[in-house]
Every structure is written in C-alpha cells, then in structure tokens.
Structure 1
Amino acid sequence: MSIPLRRPLAAMVGVMSLAAGTATLAAGPARSVPPPAEAQCPQAYPVGDLVKDQPVDGLTVSSGTAPDTFTGTVLGTITDGIAAGLDMIVVRLSSPEIDRVGGIWEGMSGSPVYAADGRLIGAVSYGLAFGSSPVAGVTPAGEMQALLTTAPSPQPQPRLRVSVPARIQARMVAGGAATEQAASSGLQRLAVPVGVSGLSSARLGKAASRLDLGNVRLYRAAPAVTAPLAGDGQIFAGSNLAASLSYGDLSAVGTGTTTMVCGDTVVGFGHPFSFSGDTSMTMHAASVVYVQEDPLGVPFKVSNPTGPVGVVDEDRLAGIKGELGAAPASTLVRTVVTGPRGRSRTGDTRVSVPDFASTATALGLLSNMDRVFDHTGKGSSYVQFTISGHTSAGAPFTLTRTNRFADSADVSYASILEPPAAVDALLGNDFTAVTLDQVRVNASMSDQVRAFRVARVQVRARHAWRTVGPDSVVRTRRGRDVVLRAVLGSRRNELGSKLVTVRLHVPRSAPRGDTGVVQVGAEGDQGGDGSGDPTLGGEPTSFGQLLRSLQTAPRNDGLLVSLQLSSSEDGTPAAQTKAQVGDVVTGAAQFTLRIR
C-alpha cells in the first residue's frame, strides 16, 4: 500500500507517553497524522534529495520507555562514508537531554531521523570520535529498509571511523557543533552499551576479554527476566531495542533504539551489534534508567531489559533485524552452588547464541559462586557438571564429569574453567554438528584450601615400607606387582597427612634387564591438556571417543602412578594405575625400577 507523506511524531509521542503513564512531551507544531502502522514503517527519503540546512527531527528515549523528540539540521553527506556504496548523512541535533549531556549518546543508535514530510531519512549511528558532540552520522533509511525484503549478501566490513570532508568540517565548526580539532578527528560508530548482570565491577573488568564483543561499552545492569513479555506496545519506532546473547542470571544485553516496525518485523541500531550476519539473539524491550555523562568520551544510556519479545535474526552492516513473537530456541545453563555455611543458590541463564554458550557457562557459574561464597579468596570446591544435547542426526548425548579445585587466592575463578572448556570442545568438534539442550553445574565450596602434595614415596619390601627417591633402584620380576604408597603432606601440616597405597603391575612382556622410571604424582600434572585420552590412544577419532575423552580427562584429585621403560620406542607407558585422593593433589616423586 502507498504511505502518505505526513508527519508522525506528535501523535506517536503523545500516544506512547500516555501508554507509559507519563506526561505528553511537546513535539512542535501540530501536523497531519497518519495511521499508527504507517508512522511505524514510513517511506525512505532519498539521500540525493537532502540539502544543507534541511530541518529534521526524530525520536529517542532518554528515560523510562516513552520517547522524546529531537530536532536538527542536515550538514551534508559523506560519499561511501559507512562502507563502499553506502553513504553517511551528517546532521546536527538538539534536545533538552542532548544539550544536557553534551551531545548524542551511545544507545541512541537506531534513533529514527525524519524529514518534515514524515519520510524516514535514516537512523543515528555515528558520533564524533573526539568526545561528545551534537553531530551525528546517520545510516540512510533505504539501506535499512533493504533488510526487510532482500536476501543477505556479502557485505564489506563497516568502518569504525570516518573522515569528515573539509566542507562539512567547516559547517560543523561554523554552527558551533564542534571545534576544529573535534571536527578533524572524524566520526566514529557509536558503541553499543552492553549491560552485564551478576558480576561485580572488578569481575566485569576481568571478564571483558572473554566477552570479546567488539565495539561495545560494558556496564553492570539488572538481569533480563526469562519470562516472555508481550511485544505489542513495547517495540515501536523510537523505542528502546535490546538484543541479548544470554539472559537470566548472566544477562549480556546490548541496547539501542528501534528505527522502524513493519508488521512484526523490527529494524534498529543503524549499524551492526557484532556483525555476525545470520544470528539468533533474543529480542527485548528496555527501560532507560538515565543517560550517563562522560567528560572524557561519549555519554551512554544505562537501561534495564525486559523479558524476551522476539528474535533478532540478522546482524548486518546497516543494522539489526528481527521478528516480534516467540523467543529463539536456547540452551539452559543452570548452576547450583552451595557455600561453606550451607548457603545455596540456583541460577538460570538462557543462551540463544550457541557460540556464547561457553562464556555464559563460565560467567554464569562465576556469578553464582560470588553470590554464595560472598567474597574473593582462598578455598576449595567440588564441581560436577552435566552437558546434554543432540547431534545433527537427532542422536541424544550426555557428558558428565566431576573434579576438585583449590586455590590460595581466588577459588571461585579457579573453579569455573573446566565446564566451558567442555562446552567449547563439544560445539567445535570435527565429527558432527551438535545442539546443546542444557548445561547443569553443581558446585560445593569450602573456605579451606584442601590440597595435598606428594612428600615422598615408599615401596613395600620384605614386609616393611622402604622410602625411595630419584637415586633409588627397586628390583622386581616380570608379571609382579610393585606395592607402593604415596605420603601426602599439607601446607604447614594444617590438614595433617594422607597415605595412598596402590599396586603397579609390571607387564609380563617387559624385557629382562630393562630399566624404567616410576613416576608418582598428581594426575592433572602428568595428563597434559586433556585433549587426548591415554586410554583411547591419543586424539579422539569419533564423537563418542570425544565424549569419553572429556569424561575421563585427568582430574586434580587423582594420583597417577606410571612406569616408563627405557626400551619403549614411542614413549607409551608400560603400566599405569590411578587412585582418587579425595582432595586436590600436587607434586611428584620418582624412582628407578629394574626388571629381573
């Protein structure tokens, strides 16, 4: 249907403000108002028809959920400013909030900019690279509307920074929008404010490298609830628009602004979130807490997300696109943590982007451990996790594993690394595509560092225990058992000592006169990185072997005794035996064995 070229802002702001229970904001002179659906999905204004000093206005949210209006003028157009074949429109904007914080803010990305006749010019997406400024780079509406109808095609990498032509620099400086230094610094894509829940400021800083989301600003935020929220009335042109990689206990939610809503299809941001192309992020609405001034950089929007309202299925050069309705399929990450004084908590996180599952597992577990342990410090933990899912052929699988950890500085962080490593190994395996249905981690924590070290080794000979060391030689026959025990000591003898007795069987095939080294030590120290399981003969060659390899990888609470004969050509141990200690064990000792 044709869309009348009429001004939508006054009616849109009034209706949405009343719906939000707030006072209607002044929106300038009254104009003819189109039906709401047409206001949400207007015609695109041709970039070539824009002229210098042409008036514009638009919608964005600076507090709560009701949008404010802003006004402005066109400064010019930068050919190929965003990417090859994609121009950038440069405008100067003003509103009470823009003026208060010194310019446009991160989180305004996607704010629709309209011409006087109601057609959509585009979306705010860039700001001055040199701090805050009312100058904004705008992604053309036609390119964003192409997300509604065209099939995805290969696109060039968007530019993070754009040089401003001299003629536009002069207009920026002459109009007071920027200093000469700021204008010459160019325009930079506005970062996406990403709210992360469940982590302290210190933890968030440490986790930043693991999140690795590109051009974002991380801040602490409230979690997005897992209960779905009806999308009607929550997402509209000028509203907050949020996309999450995970939500719930560990929420990682980027917030911008909705540019247009055509039927149930939503387009916003005006630039990529992480430029991932086809994606399965969860769509949320959000409520703005405030816009934070930044004297050294660009202001940014702090907001709290709602529950899911749909799916974001494209993350492209000109913005993100999604569908209102059901949330995408997700993996449930459930962590159950019990602390040293019996305190317990269950945390649930939903992950809709598979590549983010390992990060959500690590940080979701860390968040829950910090909440229950209630400090950063020394201690021990017992961690059991189960990962369930199915292969591309529909075959179900389950991986279950347990391990113990001890650390004298930060036991919580030391305990979170193994479950996400297993998630990564399963998702990145070379044998079959997999879908993870659930990752469940149960952890119990103690503020006592329960760790023992191999102090010495004794061998049973003639009904007595004989202490042996690197210079000792023990003689035995082929096919016999060497009975030995490890004496394990604790730091400062705070936990006393432990005696672990094992039998090492010498193969009947061992050559007479051969010698070998018996090593007694922590299984984790001798087992390498766990990528190859000794019981499977090295690297897995099937998905089933990968599962067994992950399940039987060396443990921190295992004592491993191995015999390495000098006659072995490939370095394979002639014999091995393991024993569970019940606490973390470290260190090693060895002696020489001679075959008679």
Structure 2
Amino acid sequence: MTHTSRVRRTAAITSGAIGLALASAAVTGLPARGAGPTGDCTPAYDVSTLQRDDAVTGLTVSKGTTPEPFSGTVIGTLKDGIAPGIDMIMIKFDSAALQDAGGIWQGMSGSPVYKDGKLIGAVAYGLAYGPSPIAGVTPFSDMDDYLTGTPAAKVTVDRTQAARIAAASDVSRDQAAQGFTQLPIPMSVTGLSSNRARQLAGVDEPWNRGVSYATGRAGTAAVDASSIVAGGNVAASAAYGDVSFAGVGTVTSVCNGRIVAFGHPFNNLGETTLGLHPADALYVQADSLGSPFKVANIGAPAGVIDQDRRTGISGALGTAPDAAVVSSSVTAGGKSRTGTTDVYVPDALAAATFNEFLANHDRVFDTIGAGRENQTWEITGTENGTPFTLQWADTYVDNSDITFASVFELADFVYAVSSLPGVTVDEVAITSDITREHTTLKLTGVERKTASGWVAVTRKAPVVAKPGRTVALRAVLKAPDGTLSYQEFGLAIPTGKLRGGSVSIVGGLNDYLDSYSLTSIADAQTELERALRNDQIGVRARFNGKELSIKKSQSKLDPLTTVVVGEKDIEIVGPNGRPGSLHSTGGGVVSVPRH
C-alpha cells in the first residue's frame, strides 16, 4: 500500500510522558490562513519594585478569540517561590468573567499581567484548596530566556503570607496556607465519545494517559493565526487530525514571530516539536471542587512549539512541525471512511494510533456490538537511517465490542517499535473491513490418517511414527452450532533413532504478538514471521527432547474463515509403540505442508 507521508524532523526530542485525555467528535481542519498575529514585544517589568496593593491589569479570553481586560491588586511576593532565583508574584484578580467562573480557570495559564505598560509576567498558579481569584504569576523576565528554571509543582506560603491572602479575599488563612499549584492545562483528545473516554480510562497500557474534557477542531473560517496575540488563546499539541492531543492556554507575549505562553510547562519536554495552534474558546466551565476550566476548539497548526520548559512554552509562528502520519481506512457494510492524524511527538504515536483507529471504527461501524474484522497494517520508518517496512494482517472476532477489541494489538506494537533506539516511524497505515458475523472455531482434537480412515489421537492412542516418514494429521474444529470442520497437515518425522517427541497444535487466538521483548527492527520482523494470525493454526514440534530448527513460516497452516481458539498437545512414539525420553539429545527436520 502506498500513502503520502511527511518525515519527522531530526531535531532532538527529549522523552517525556505525554499527558493525554479523551473527548468528543472532531471535524476536518484545513491549513491555517489569514493575517499573521500582531506582535507586542512588551518589555519586562522589574518585579523587584512591586509593592503591596499595587494596581495591575491583564488580558485573557473566556469566550471567542478576543482578549478582554481584567484588573488586579498585588498581595505580595514569595521569594524563590517558583524556583531558586525565581520569585512568585501573588495577585488578586477581578473581572466579570472571573466572578462568573468563581475564580481563575485552567486555560488562563499564560495570561499576561501588566503595570505601567510593561509585562510583569503570566498567570500560572492557583491556590491549592480550590477556585479563587488569587493567582501566582511567573515573572516574564524568567520566561523569555529559553524558559529555563526548575520550579516546584507546589509552592508553599508562610503564615504571614497566608494572612495577607486571607485579608485580601474570601479565602481563610488555613486555606491559603495550603499554598499554590500550577494551573493545569486543560488537556483533551478529540475523536472519541465520552463513553469511550470512560472505557479507555481503565485501560492499563504504558501508552495510555489520563482523562480530561471535550474539545473539538475549529475550521479556518472560525479561527486563524491572527488571533495568536498577547492575552489570546493558544494551544500546544502532540497530535492533530481526526484525533488531537492538545492543551489550551494563553499567550503571554508575541515578538518577532515568536510566542511565549503558559507560564509553566506543557509536559516539560525541553527541546521539542509540538504543534502551535490558534484556538476558539467556547466557555469557561465552573467547578466548585477544583479550578474552573476553559473549553475550546483548536484550529489548524500555525507554527511549532520548540521549547517546553519549567517556566512556560515558546515557539515560532509559521510552518507546522513535521509529523508521523497515522491513517485508517475502515469499511463496514456499505460505509467506508479514511481518516488521518499527524503526530508531532513520538511518545504520543501509540495513543494516537489507538484513538485514530477506534474513532474511525466508531464513525463507520456505528455500533458497539459483536462482529468480525479483517485488518491489515503497515508501519514504515527508519532505523539509524535505514528504511524499514513492517506489515501484518489478521482477523479479529468479538461477541460484545469488535471495534474496541481489535485495536489494542496494533497500538502495543507501535508503542514497542517507536520506543526502539534509533527508530523513527514515518507512517502507520491501517485498513479494516468489519462485518457483524462473529463465530469462532474451537480446536477440539487431533486425528491421524490410517488405512482404515481418520482416528483420534489421544493420550492412550499416541501417534506411532517411523523415522523419515510423513504422518498425515488433521485438526478437528468445532463451530458454535456443533458443526465440525477439519484442517489437514503433514508432519515429517526426522531420520535417525526416534526416542520420542511431542507436537503442539495451537489456535491463533492462543498466540499473540510479543511486542514488549523487541530490541530492534530485526526482532520485530522475526516476531511478525513467528506469530500466528488469529485465524490460523500453528504446529510446534519437539523430537528427542529438542525443539527443531524449522522455518517459522512452515509451522503455520493457511488462514481459515474465522478465528481459532484452543490448543492440543499430542505425543509421538517410536515404531515399538513405546514413548521415549523427551529429554535426550538428537533431532531432525519437520515440515508442515499447507493444504
């Protein structure tokens, strides 16, 4: 299969866990158009001169894209509150939107705060106890130099500062004494329903991350790069397309084509290649138990976030980052759809693959129910600069939710491959065809062909074989309605003295792709050659206590019409009819002809 893809840039990417969340359906976006944003290049204010009760102003967005003003009063400064050498400015803010929300909200992170026409810094922290108009501000002078620093996630306050906070607000001294925490960035994943979000929340996989709120994708008619201004919305994304992993915050400053935002990290990836997006705020959701949060649609990428540091994010407006492409083509009945997602950060690739495939399944199959799926996929990329292609085809059956059951194996394999040293994945391309038929075949026995016909192989009636001969065997398969079918194969007995042997006949559903032991692309290729499809039967033989060095493809029988479950072990004995030792040395070659 041939697909158009873009090759990820080779800029250094610091590994880090991408905090992912789950959300609702998305619509197709287009490249960002429109005028570029207006730069402000506002100089930094000397925060060491701030005094208690100083009046300040700020800009942020609660709805739409246009920044609105808010006012504030300085409470005080926590020396080294964010990190050694980085103070936190405590300020009480007020506006109609803040009053409606009950306090500062998630997504307000990065909102610029000014005094005398200069930039004090960015709203970045909220009181730990719950919603409040009291915020901690990260000084801009510590944000604009590649956003370095090592702030704590929680900032403590002493009794004197707690008393000041209590005097300036409705917060009690004990509540204020709980300190400040970073305002979370409202993280979201588009493409999945809320039911799927709850379902995936309980999945224990290394590529799966937490749950947040719903977001969508705005078309370019609604939002473009011109809205990325100081106080305006901005989103950083690990993936964008059918599925988007993004966090929405606020721009602190725009200058010479670069933005600074958030006032604290997105995921602390260091030097990175996140997508930079405009966003359209829908509303601020009040939350009596925690911080209110902004719900927004994000627009098409308008640049790249290349720094994700402890005191904020920074990036360049212009060309979107290069990406790995995940594409899924799903057919069910008379419906079909192809969707794509661009993935900017390798750590997000497996989760993006899972969510892209699942979202497209749900869009096309449009049922949570039983079914069968014929699936093929291809992973392309490079290992230390050498191109590779990994391919697999399989059949899945599930009697409750085929769309959910059939996407895990690929996500696990993508996670393993993309985590290998020196590996860059350029594309994951998936094709599937789903039907409502969901029968399985159960491997119930093994029979041997004799002069009088087929007879069952049992513990009391093992296979009696002569060295150098081929034994005709067949697997007995039972359908749910009791109908029997058979798959024949030949087992070549090695030459030489036969002391004994055993053969395992395995249904594909009892086998699996072993993703997590891979150490190289060569390992991945070998594993794909070894593993059984779910609709295959495999044959593994041991003679004279030694597993034979057989060609792995010869141990697989031809695929059947549906999934096969079950495993049977049979014994091979020598011409004298007595079982021999299975621990002695020796061996030969076994072949399993396909029929």
TM-score interval w.r.t. the shorter chain? 0.7 to 0.9
Shift, 1:178, TM fit: 1.2
* Structure 2 residue aligned with 1:29: none
Asked if 2 retains the 8 angstrom alpha-carbon contact of 1:225 and 1:247, the reply is no
* Structure 2 residue aligned with 1:503: 490
Q: Give the share of equivalent positions with the same residue, in percent.
A: 39
Q: Partners in 1 of 2:374 and 2:213 — Cα distance?
A: 31
User: Is 1:593 aligned with 2:585?
Assistant: no
Residue deviations 1:139-179, cap 9 Å, x none?
1111111127xxx6xx53x4222222212211221122412
Identify which range, 408-417 or 302-311, moves more after superposition: 408-417
Q: Partners in 2 of 1:224 and 1:505 — Cα distance?
A: 63
Shift, 1:566, TM fit: 4.5
SS in 2 for 1:192: coil
Q: Partners in 1 of 2:414 and 2:352 — Cα distance?
A: 10
Residue deviations 1:390-432, cap 9 Å, x none?
3443x332221101111222221211122223322322224xx
Asked if 2 retains the 8 angstrom alpha-carbon contact of 1:286 and 1:304, the reply is yes
* Structure 1 residue aligned with 2:372: 380
* Structure 1 residue aligned with 2:83: 83
Q: What are the residue-to-residue correspondences of 1:509-528 with 2, within 5 Å?
A: 509=496, 511-512=497-498, 514-526=499-511
Q: Partners in 2 of 1:479 and 1:446 — Cα distance?
A: 45
Quick one: which of 233, 237, 241 aligns to 1:244?
237
Q: What are the residue-to-residue correspondences of 1:346-365 with 2, within 5 Å?
A: 346-365=338-357
Shift, 1:270, TM fit: 0.3
Quick one: which of 499, 520, 528 aligns to 1:550?
528
Shift, 1:134, TM fit: 0.2
* Structure 2 residue aligned with 1:195: 188
Shift, 1:449, TM fit: 1.6
Quick one: which of 402, 411, 421 aligns to 1:411?
402
**Superposed CA RMSD:** 2.5
SS in 2 for 1:142: helix
* Structure 2 residue aligned with 1:55: 55
Q: Partners in 2 of 1:77 and 1:163 — Cα distance?
A: 12
User: Is 1:291 aligned with 2:284?
Assistant: yes
Shift, 1:366, TM fit: 0.6
Shift, 1:466, TM fit: 0.2
Shift, 1:90, TM fit: 0.8
* Structure 2 residue aligned with 1:562: 540
Asked if 2 retains the 8 angstrom alpha-carbon contact of 1:246 and 1:349, the reply is yes
Shift, 1:59, TM fit: 0.2
TM-aligned CA distance change 1:177 to 1:279, over 3 Å:
farther
Considering Cα pairs closer than 8 Å and 6+ residues apart, tell me whether 1 or 2 has the greater RCO. 2
Q: Partners in 2 of 1:382 and 1:370 — Cα distance?
A: 16
User: Is 1:309 aligned with 2:302?
Assistant: yes
TM-aligned CA distance change 1:587 to 1:43, over 3 Å:
same
* Structure 2 residue aligned with 1:581: 560
Asked if 1 retains the 8 angstrom alpha-carbon contact of 2:166 and 2:173, the reply is yes
SS in 1 for 2:108: coil
Residue deviations 1:96-147, cap 9 Å, x none?
00011110000000000111x1111110011111110000011111111112
Q: Partners in 2 of 1:415 and 1:225 — Cα distance?
A: 31
Unaligned runs of 5+ in 2: 1-36, 576-595
TM-aligned CA distance change 1:171 to 1:65, over 3 Å:
same
TM-aligned CA distance change 1:180 to 1:527, over 3 Å:
closer
SS in 2 for 1:448: coil
Residue deviations 1:259-314, cap 9 Å, x none?
00111111000000111111111100000000001122110000000111000011
Asked if 1 retains the 8 angstrom alpha-carbon contact of 2:511 and 2:531, the reply is no
Q: Partners in 1 of 2:267 and 2:565 — Cα distance?
A: 42
SS in 2 for 1:413: helix
TM-aligned CA distance change 1:551 to 1:113, over 3 Å:
farther
Asked if 1 retains the 8 angstrom alpha-carbon contact of 2:207 and 2:350, the reply is no
Asked if 1 retains the 8 angstrom alpha-carbon contact of 2:504 and 2:570, the reply is yes
TM-aligned CA distance change 1:197 to 1:269, over 3 Å:
same
Quick one: which of 456, 462, 473 aligns to 1:467?
456
Q: What are the residue-to-residue correspondences of 1:344-493 with 2, within 5 Å?
A: 344-393=336-385, 395-430=386-421, 433-493=422-482
Asked if 2 retains the 8 angstrom alpha-carbon contact of 1:144 and 1:270, the reply is yes
Asked if 1 retains the 8 angstrom alpha-carbon contact of 2:323 and 2:344, the reply is yes
SS in 2 for 1:218: coil
- TM-score, normalization by structure 1: 0.84
Q: Partners in 2 of 1:217 and 1:266 — Cα distance?
A: 28
Asked if 2 retains the 8 angstrom alpha-carbon contact of 1:250 and 1:349, the reply is yes
- What is the letter of the counterpart of residue 137 of structure 1? G
Q: Counting helix residues as a fraction of each chain, which structure ranks higher?
A: 1
Unaligned runs of 5+ in 1: 1-35, 533-538
Q: Partners in 1 of 2:512 and 2:62 — Cα distance?
A: 55
* Structure 1 residue aligned with 2:270: 277
TM-aligned CA distance change 1:234 to 1:551, over 3 Å:
farther
Asked if 2 retains the 8 angstrom alpha-carbon contact of 1:386 and 1:400, the reply is yes
Asked if 2 retains the 8 angstrom alpha-carbon contact of 1:58 and 1:111, the reply is yes
- What is the letter of the counterpart of residue 450 of structure 2? A
- TM-score, normalization by structure 2: 0.85
Residue deviations 1:356-404, cap 9 Å, x none?
11110011101111111212222221110011223443x3322211011
TM-aligned CA distance change 1:422 to 1:213, over 3 Å:
closer
* Structure 2 residue aligned with 1:33: none
Asked if 1 retains the 8 angstrom alpha-carbon contact of 2:234 and 2:248, the reply is yes
Shift, 1:73, TM fit: 0.6
- What is the letter of the counterpart of residue 354 of structure 2? A
- What is the letter of the counterpart of residue 216 of structure 2? A
Residue deviations 1:467-493, cap 9 Å, x none?
122333211111211111111112344
Quick one: which of 197, 217, 221 aligns to 1:223?
217
Asked if 2 retains the 8 angstrom alpha-carbon contact of 1:531 and 1:549, the reply is no
TM-aligned CA distance change 1:582 to 1:173, over 3 Å:
same
